Amino acid sequence: MITFTVPDALREVMRANQKLCFNLLFQCSSQALQEVAADPRHLGGSLGMIGVLHTWTRQLVYHPHIHYIVPQGGLAPNGAWVRGKDPDYFLPVRKLSVKMRILMQAAMKEADRALYDTIPNGVWYENWNVHISAAGRGEEAVDYLSRYVCQTALSKKRILADDGTHVTIEYTDSKTGERCPLKLTSNEFVRRFLQHVLPKRFKRVRYFGWLSPAGHKRLTRIQALLDWKPELDLKPTEPRPAPTCRQCEGELILFGSWRYGRGPPQLLKSAIPLYD
């Protein structure tokens, strides 16, 4: 798992310009990974990546960052599958940090010069945090990221109390691993939560390289090189029970179907009974 984190001084700019900045964050971080991995001194191959955008900490503080799930290998220009020589080392963190910073600076300057001029100049001289950690076979990493794909910031289980003026939530302390309560005023809770609502139709999960839809042929080649075959589920499937009426519990009979937004055909209208 590879994580790119935005510096503190850039977060206010990103919060006010989310659609532009988050798209650039995906673009530049994925490009940095591909360029560093393509260097023969490191891996010498192209990567396949799944990226997921997060904008929150466990206490709902605004903290935009992208997690990438990356298989530990790549497709070389000659079509061979390549791995790093050291199983405990994948790509140089320092080089990724510098590459990401340079790409982001150039992209923001080109996309919106007026916005770029509002960014403190020191952002482009400090170290950008990049973290790489092995995730085993990947199941744990996928399980971790899947919890944040269909929900924003926190689940109902973490809300311990709500008395109308204050909301108490639960979070896990990253240092001790203990569960701790956090009491916030109602306005502060709403503020912290709403700042993580993404722009309309924004894609939080994205695919790159040979894991993208356009990379299907390369992915098929990699699967052949690794002699990978999908696991077939040979268990017999049980037939689904027929739907029943909620009132009489009798079996429902299908008269027909029609598209959403359109009424039933005239034949169905006469066949569907009406109830008071």
pLDDT in tens, 56-67: 888 999 999 999
pLDDT tens for 175-203 read: 888 899 999 999 999 999 999 888 888 99
Are 86 and 11 found together in one domain? yes
Domain that holds residue 160: 154-187
236 is a domain residue? no
In percent, how much of the chain has pLDDT > 90?
52
DSSP conformational letter for 47: -
Band the pLDDT of 261: cuts 50, 70, 90.
Answer: low
6 is a domain residue? yes
Structure tokens at 246: 């909620």
39-43, 93-97, 106-110, 139-143: range with lowest mean pLDDT? 139-143
End-to-end CA distance of the chain: give it in Å, rounded. 58
Phi and psi angles of residue 113, each rounded to the nearest 5 degrees, phi first: -65, -35
pLDDT at 276: 42
Are 79 and 175 found together in one domain? no
Closest CA to 54 of 92, 95, 125, 6: 6
Are 53 and 145 found together in one domain? yes
DSSP conformational letter for 156: G
Are 82 and 32 found together in one domain? yes
Are 137 and 83 found together in one domain? yes
pLDDT tens for 125-135 read: 988 999 998 87
pLDDT at 143: 78
Q: What is the average pLDDT across 165-176?
A: 89
Highest mean pLDDT among 21-30, 130-139, 153-162: 21-30
User: What is the domain count for the chain?
Assistant: 2
Whole-model pTM? 0.77
